[in-house]
Structure 1
């Protein structure tokens, strides 16, 4: 199925975030009444995002036969903090969610470094064959990246407008991660494991 529909995995990966963004743009200046309760456009977009992420995660599992620990952790935090934002009608919980996700990832990778485990290789090793030293360097860099992204998310949601945070969450954090992965291209080459011919 994946080979016949190569576009499906990226749609499942990024679809929920784009749905959140579009719903927010459509309703950001509106009040949506559901079940006798008034919600802001942001809370309504969160309400739409949660089931979209659940369906997307189940779709990825059906498509690939597996779901990574990071995807499961993200889903759980979205359910908890998105659910709190809806239940308490308070957007702050959902805005804190990326901070907690990035701190969790940094903590896991930091613990892996201390315990001398190569967990990043377990997750990405098949797609990116590298020697152990390369994985250690990448793990250090990713740990620092996740810490920086957690701090940056806190700064943006606490000091800037809601719309700015939505743009930052949808495009800024994704772009930072993309640039980071590209910036490490030399590391991938220097520590690549040559395939036997």
Structure 2
């Protein structure tokens, strides 16, 4: 095992969970603190979200670069999210309209939800690819888990729309950092019984 990496049975390199978490949360944390404290560094209060967005774009690109440098590939979910950050963050800065960066979670989550449901429709559960998962599940397990995650992504998209359209920018930023991530962690942990029930490696051992 190389530092920061984990070797899988197929010899594919994966990031250690802690490294992966830092790379995902780092840009979000910088986004939150920049929005909260940019005015202390001479920026006008109404410019904080734009400073935060600029740093968010840079931090996201740095995180993707580090990830690629470690495993020589870019996981689908961070890559898609990063592209949307750059595009909508760039529009936010260029047009000086924070609506675009606020739409980013809605678009990303709705996109993943649609992709997962589309995969199920064509009988190709895509969750393992989307989440870069290391789980080994039966076909039925993948179908059920994929359907649950698709619905959860749609819930996150709806929540984001409600929050940014009804609350202040500061509240939305806090929700993005301290609301969406904890909800995702709780939801992921709640899937443990399903993961254990449909673990294909255990079923193979029992057979």
Do both proteins adopt the same fold according to a TM-score greater than 0.5, normalized to the shorter chain? yes
Residue 9 of structure 1: how far off its partner (Å): 3.5
| Counterpart contact for 1:28–1:42, Cα < 8 Å | no
Counterpart in the other structure of 2:43: 32
SS of residue matched to 1:66 = coil
Report the Cα offset of residue 24 of structure 1.
Answer: 1.0
Gaps of 5+ in 1: none
Quote the offset at 1:2 in angstroms. 1.4
Q: Is the 8 A contact 2:5 2:70 kept in 1?
A: no
91, 109, 114: which one pairs with 1:107? 114
Q: CA deviation at 1:115?
A: 0.6
Could you list the per-position Cα deviations for residues 18-51 of structure 1 after superposition, in whole angstroms to 9, with x for gaps in the alignment?
Answer: 1111111112688738xxxx96101110011101
C-alpha distance in 2 between matches for 1:164 and 1:50: 20
Match of 1:23 in 2: 34
Q: TM-score, normalised by structure 2?
A: 0.85
Alignment size in residue pairs: 193
Aligned-residue RMSD, C-alpha: 2.4
Asked if 2 retains the 8 angstrom alpha-carbon contact of 1:85 and 1:93, the reply is yes
Shift of 1:146: 0.7
Using the alignment, how far apart are the partners of 1:32 and 1:130 within structure 2? 51
TM-score by length of 1: 0.89
2:22 to 3, 11, 14: 11
Correspondent of 1:2 among 1, 4, 18: 4
Tell me the distance in 1 between the aligned counterparts of 2:136 and 2:4. 22
Moved over 4 A (4+): 3-7, 28-31, 123-126
Gaps of 5+ in 2: 7-14
Q: How far did residue 82 of structure 1 move?
A: 0.4
